[in-house]
Amino acid sequence: MTAKTSGKADRARPVRSAFLGVFTHTEPVFTMDDQIVSMEQVFSNNPLISGVQLRLPWRNFQPSRTVCHWDKLERLIDQVASRGKRVHLSLIPGFHTPDWVYEAGAAKVGPVTVGGAQGMTPVLWDPVYMETFGEVLRELSVRYGSDSRLTALHVMGHNYKGDEMHAPKETSLLEPHGFGEETVLANWRYWIRHYGECFPDKELILVVSQMYPGLKRLPAQVAEYFVKRYPGRAILQSDQLHGRQDNLSDSPERAQLSDSIIAGLHEWAPHGHEMVGSFKEQPQRQGSVEMTIYNLVRMGNPLYMQLWRRDCDDPRYAEALLAAWDKYGGLAPDVLKAKLQEEGLYVERSDWNPEQFFRTYKRTNPVPPS
């Protein structure tokens, strides 16, 4: 992706992008110091990784209004970029908003549920929260907006627990603060414009997923606004890529929401995908390598695949994905489907049972899946 556009809604569509390979990410539950150690281990063990998403909780990066760990961010960026790898940055607010923001007057609600735990999150359209998070983004743009080592930024702002566009399910807590479809959509558009204006020379990534219960149109509305405002540098991502079965073979009600949205907008933007699970620790949840590539191809215009951090110390997982990409990635979806059927590798519908899987997983794993 080399085309640059202004922040205006250009009607020109980008050219199809070249596939970039296998990426990974840092663990947001790690401190920034531990992330540096973790990435050193990845690169020591696995030369096949082409890029890294730096997932930094805002509270870890900026523990007070006057203190940002620029030195640690610099070490992380240089650690990845000096090896010729792409750097994607996610500065994660929401549940990871530092306490000083609330002390400055930002409204918060809670407790809301986050991965089995409970905590507080700002009202995501609160003006104090928007100003303070916008302030650190502006400072980030001053330092890295023209730095070619930083390749892309994930559009954050209306996220409450990670880089996906998830929002609190406890909408009753937000109703006293003006919650509604128009409010949410306007806030998402604000953050999309803000990132585009702060980083006019960077690629931007939006991680598509479901948001508020009852507002099913919102993810598609946000994604369409994003790709049509920044054609040529917008990238859609999901964190749901798997090889259990044919993701798009059945009815729209059964298809993964993010996959359907990305497939519908693939002519406007390329897409990257993180695996839904770990090939190493969750083979039933993740499925086969061959069907993973099939689902990637089905969505049109794939840019990269992203492994869980825990799969990257052993290069065999990246090697298997890249080998399958070399074998199948250039085929049209119908040709690829026929080839997988011929080889006995096509799975139209699996016997995947998420409830049973997670009951078993929780009994055998002390740390819940991300």
CA-CA distance, 282 to 348, in Å (whole number)?
A: 20
**Percentage, residues of the chain above pLDDT 90:** 78
pLDDT of residue 161: 84
User: Encoding tokens for residue 142?
Assistant: 């001053």
At a CB cut-off of 8 Å and minimum separation 6, what does 101 contact? 122, 128, 129, 132, 133
What gap in Å lies between CA 74 and CA 196, rounded to an integer? 22
Listed residue (85, 31, 37) closest to 318, CA to CA: 85
CA distance 147 to 341: 47
Distance CA 31, CA 223 (A): 31
pLDDT of 165 over the 80 cut: yes
Where do the structural domains in the chain lie, given as residue ranges? Answer: 22-364
**Least confidently predicted of 178-192, 328-342, 348-362:** 348-362
Cβ-contact 97, 64 below 8 angstroms: no
Residue carrying the six token digits 């090939």: 279
Q: What is the pLDDT of residues 77-117, one digit of tens each?
A: 999 999 999 999 999 999 999 999 999 999 999 888 766 66
What count of residues does the chain have? 370
Lowest-confidence region among 28-32, 69-73, 167-171? 167-171
What is the mean pLDDT of the segment spanning 181-190? 96
Going by pLDDT thresholds of 50, 70 and 90, the confidence category of residue 367 is: very low
DSSP 63-85: SBTTB--HHHHHHHHHHHHTTT-
Fold of 22-364: TIM Barrel (3.20.20)
